[in-house]
Structure 1
Amino acid sequence: MKKIVVLGLGKVGRLAAELLHSSGFEVTGIDVAARSDLPFPVKTLELGHSAGVEAMFRRQDAVLSCLPFHLNIPLAEAAHGAGIAYFDLTEDVPTTHRILELSASSKGLMAPQCGLAPGFIGIVGASLIAQFEDCRSCKMRVGALPQHPTGLMGYSFNWSPEGVVNEYLNDCEVIEDGARKMISPMEWIEDIYIDGMKLEAFTTSGGLGTMCDTYHGKVGNIDYKTMRYPGHAKLMNFFFHELLMRERRAEAGAILVNAKPPVDDDVVYVHASAEGVQDGALRRREFVRGYRPIEIMGERRTAISWTTAGSVVAIIEMVRDGLLPASGFLKQEDIDLDAFLATPTGGLYAA
């Protein structure tokens, strides 16, 4: 796997493309406008023209979509038709189900959910579960937050507003007392502390990826929650449900971004914990990190940008190097954490 096309050159897509280029891939970027300021060619492509998309894909070995989730199904189908590997960052459950169907007959690897959550958090969670002879619970939490919040909401939209609205409103799958269940988002609110700082965590959709499929009957309790500063969930429930903005998703995203635009000083908190029997005794294991902006290739990158882009690039490096399958469907929980951290890009998470 040498040639890869990256679709969407926003903050995450551009960084992913630059990291792939630095790692030795022949990168072609696709964006709304051609540009000449990057160390690889950038072209425009009419994504609604399926024949043209598939023809372009046939000249590649792999495609990485960094586009909004609603565009990914036809792109995955085009990659399937072209017989190449497909990667994306989606948290959207129906999109993943369709890609899973495609993987049954794909020539190339089908690997959605390769970002932060789902993505890196699933790799971490699986590494904790694997430490126990009998794991009774695994709880995974991720929060992408401004370092210096203002206002009651305590938030800035450094991530796609479409993706945030999607995960705040779609139902969430969990395993509770051995049973797979669908529960409402922005529920099961709990307090959580990282380095003595109080946060709140609540259910959101998609963060578990395929973990409920993998661990049903093996782990009694698994759930994923988003972390925010205290009071956020109450305000968002008011916004979406009492003001009925859940019925106007696109408008809701625009309102929220206008009110809380992106910031440069952000932080990504990762908090995963598991409990179970290890060496005959009940134990608890944790993985807790706070990731902040860092300089990559001479440019300061926000925490959400590099933790998301870095995850998918590390996975692509592992596929290229033969450490992961070259066909079928890739589950994040099948990726070894130590091998991930040993890749050129995965090493960013170990710093």
Structure 2
Amino acid sequence: MKNILTLGLGKVGTLVGVLLSKNYNVTGVDKQPPHYSFKLPFSVILGDITDEVFLINLIKQNDAVVSALPYFLNKKIAELTYNLGKHYFDLTEDVETTNFIRTLSKTSKGVMAPQCGLAPGIIGIIGADLAKDFNKLRDIELRVGALPKYPNGLLAYSFTWSPAGVINEYINDAEAIHNGQRKMTPSLDGLEYINIEGKEFEAFTTSGGLGTMCETYEGKVDTLNYKTIRYPGHGKLMKFLIQELILKDDKKLLSSILENAKPPVKEDVVYVYAVVEGWKEDNLFRNEYYKAFSPITIDGQEWRAISWTTAASIAAVIEMVDKGDLPSKGFIKQEEIPFDKFLATQNGQLFK
């Protein structure tokens, strides 16, 4: 790969461009001019990505497309990228979008790699890495939370990434394996409490976080699930809004309410927590991974934890495809990505 097209220049998309521009020729595209206090190290084109002719002409000039746009725009982008035989990467958590992309990947000339963010994304890579130590598995439990460092109010939250994506995760059913059976479970259910370094959190089921892991581990585990970490009380309030007030039927209104009430904050934290239990020989063991990621400075600019962890995840996967550590065409499952090689990439090293 030499030339990469990055669609969407919000915080994550911009940082993807910044990270990739160290090794590739990057072109960023957005409808509005990006407003940053520093000069972007890549070229920017203003335009409407829903204009098919405009988008096709751009894709033709590049080797790979990265979508950092809301999930509901990705089907068309993936389809055009597939038709032109280029590599495709995105951050989607939407199951329907992923299934559509996976169908395309069966005959694609390039890589089709959705779900390259946090969850789905690096959490699946970590979970699979913990699981490979066992000759027989029992449980895989994965948890991620992107939270304000200093929460306020009853909701104790801030929308540091796409409100549409968060709402989608809260409304759609989630896939899991329970008692050895692969099934769908309602989001916002399965409430549990977690103590991390003396701090109390809650976690509940949300959609899309496992990616393709239920397919990969079906018949191999008794329990496999993903839950989102939040401050206590958040899940109950979201259930009230989505289910009791029936705002699930008006996502646009719900998004507007939440964006107005809980704008992004500068100081955030991303918690990544994974537990795998099983047998090594005849002995039962438990492998754990836990890290809290804070904002960091990259090339003199500070980036929120949610921004850099998401951007670095997808950038690391792109590096691995380019280096030949991953297949050069077809669908890439996150759980098939070796964690050690992920961490060895230029962008993966940020997670150390």
TM-score (norm 2): 0.97
Quote the residue 2:81 is aligned against. 79
Report how far residue 56 of structure 1 moved.
1.8
Quote the residue 2:250 is aligned against. 248
- Larger deviation, residues 30-39 vs 174-183: 30-39
Quote the residue 1:31 is aligned against. 30
Distance 1:79 1:107 in 2: 10
Deviations 1:183-235 (A, max 9, x none): 10000000111112110000000000000111111122100000000111111
Structure 2: gaps of 5 or more residues: none
Distance 2:153 2:184 in 1: 32
Contact 1:2–1:320 (8 Å) recurs in 2: no
Distance 2:266 2:296 in 1: 11
Taking only the aligned residue pairs, the percentage that are identical comes to 52
Q: 1:185 aligns with which of 176, 180, 187?
A: 187
Quote the residue 2:218 is aligned against. 216
Distance 2:208 2:225 in 1: 10
Report how far residue 44 of structure 1 moved.
2.1
Residue 215 of structure 2 is aligned to residue 175 of structure 1: no
Distance 1:319 1:87 in 2: 11
Distance 2:249 2:33 in 1: 36
Distance 1:245 1:58 in 2: 41
Contact 1:144–1:266 (8 Å) recurs in 2: yes
Quote the residue 2:345 is aligned against. 343
Quote the residue 2:114 is aligned against. 112
Contact 1:55–1:82 (8 Å) recurs in 2: no
Quote the residue 1:121 is aligned against. 123
Contact 1:58–1:83 (8 Å) recurs in 2: no
Distance 1:214 1:154 in 2: 35
SS in 1 for 2:21: helix
- Map residues 214-293 of structure 1 onto 2, 5 A cutoff: 214-293=216-295
Quote the residue 1:5 is aligned against. 5
SS in 2 for 1:240: helix
Report how far residue 51 of structure 1 moved.
3.3
- Map residues 150-169 of structure 1 onto 2, 5 A cutoff: 150-169=152-171
SS in 2 for 1:251: helix
Distance 2:41 2:347 in 1: 18
Deviations 1:115-144 (A, max 9, x none): 011001000011011111001110000000
Counterpart amino acid of residue 192 in structure 2: E
SS in 1 for 2:39: coil
Contact 1:33–1:43 (8 Å) recurs in 2: no
Counterpart amino acid of residue 167 in structure 1: E
Counterpart amino acid of residue 81 in structure 2: A
Distance 1:46 1:300 in 2: 29
Quote the residue 2:332 is aligned against. 330
Report how far residue 34 of structure 1 moved.
4.7
Distance 2:297 2:281 in 1: 42
Distance 1:13 1:246 in 2: 27
Q: 1:100 aligns with which of 93, 99, 102?
A: 102
